[in-house]
Amino acid sequence: MSFDRFAELSVFIRAVESGSFSAAGRQLELSASAISKAISRMEERLGVRLLNRTSRSLQLTYEGEVFLAGARRVVEAMDDAHRNLAALTADLSGRLRIYTLPSFGYTLVPFIAAFVERFPRVKIDIQLGAERVDLVERNIDVAIRLGVLQDSAYFARRIGSTKHVICAAPSYLARRGVPESPDALKDHNCLNFSIRTHDYHWGLRAESPLKPASVEGDISCNQAEMLHRLCVAGVGITELPYYVVGEDIASGALVALLDSATKPESDPIWAIYPHNQNPSPRTAAFIEFLRERIASSPAFLPPAAR
């Protein structure tokens, strides 16, 4: 059994209040050994003895008394925070307007379904697009963006990470060969986003051991799903977020190239909203809900990058 630090505080308080590890264990449905080990880890981390153990009782040291008072304040504050959040989210209602990339919006479908099931009085308005829009002018509550942010007019919270993966279909590679280096991409048909320049450096960032290479091809598009389908059809090589191509790579319909799926660098995923507006309770709840779901989802980072 492992404990986070907050759980350790609760275990410590319960042990002191119940007078023994055995009694605390019965109340928490843990073994006395698990209680003892948790408190020993705390003492080792803090560098002080909190309890003097005897065969019959536990006695707080002076340091333990000081720590107990602080631990109680922390636990009480956390309990208050949970109660306040529960009261805040118990009756969420109103309209939540979300703006995001089409490819990301489709990935959000199961998350949004779970969110509206949990908060049935919240009405969702999803707007999809690749353009940078004025959130205030469009009356958007929250936008989801990937990569480097350039807008200083918005507050941003990082809610997860993904990777961009360079990939191609086996049929294309059989016909044109496998590029063995970034420089070899110049000899391939590279399918790119039309909103970017022809010399955009695919995922080969400064911190990557791979060297940047310019890419170009005979087809461009402003949406990831079209590039995805063209790639699966064997038209060319493209670079797309893992949440778009992950299932195809796992099934063999696409092949990750240049080790782009295994490199440690990843792209941040941001939830943004205007600086001049405090997020509504439903916006704050959605951002936190999404952050939790992305963290636990296998769709955003390939296994090698986790």
pTM for the full model? 0.64
Question: Do 218 and 69 fall into the same domain?
Answer: no
Q: Are 49 and 64 in contact (CB under 8 A)?
A: yes
- Structure confidence by residue, pLDDT tens digits, 22-32: 888 888 888 88
Q: Where are the alpha helices (DSSP H) in 90-126?
A: 102-107, 109-118
What gap in Å lies between CA 174 and CA 165, rounded to an integer? 19
Question: Do 274 and 251 fall into the same domain?
Answer: no
- Partner residues linked to 96 by β-bridges: 124
Question: Do 54 and 126 fall into the same domain?
Answer: no
Question: Does residue 147 fall inside a structural domain?
Answer: yes
Question: Does residue 24 fall inside a structural domain?
Answer: yes
pLDDT reported for residue 247: 93
| Number of separate domains in the chain | 3
The DSSP call for residue 76 is H
Residue 109's domain spans which residues? 94-162+267-305
Query: pLDDT per position in the chain (306 positions), as tens?
Result: 445 777 888 888 988 888 888 888 888 888 888 888 888 988 998 999 999 987 677 889 999 899 999 988 888 888 777 766 666 566 788 899 999 988 899 999 999 999 999 899 999 999 998 888 888 888 999 999 887 776 666 888 899 999 889 999 999 999 999 998 888 888 899 998 876 533 445 655 544 444 545 678 889 888 889 999 999 999 999 999 999 999 999 999 999 998 877 776 778 899 998 765 677 888 989 999 999 999 888 888 887 666
State the CATH number of the domain containing residue 200: 3.40.190.10
Question: Does residue 261 fall inside a structural domain?
Answer: no
Question: Does residue 215 fall inside a structural domain?
Answer: yes
pLDDT reported for residue 2: 46
Question: Do 77 and 34 fall into the same domain?
Answer: yes
Question: Do 107 and 251 fall into the same domain?
Answer: no
Residue among 258, 249, 244 at smallest CA distance from 188: 258
- Structure confidence by residue, pLDDT tens digits, 92-110: 888 999 999 888 999 999 9
- Structure confidence by residue, pLDDT tens digits, 52-92: 987 677 889 999 899 999 988 888 888 777 766 666 566 78
State the CATH number of the domain containing residue 71: 1.10.10.10
Question: Do 176 and 246 fall into the same domain?
Answer: yes
Residue with tokens 């007078």: 19
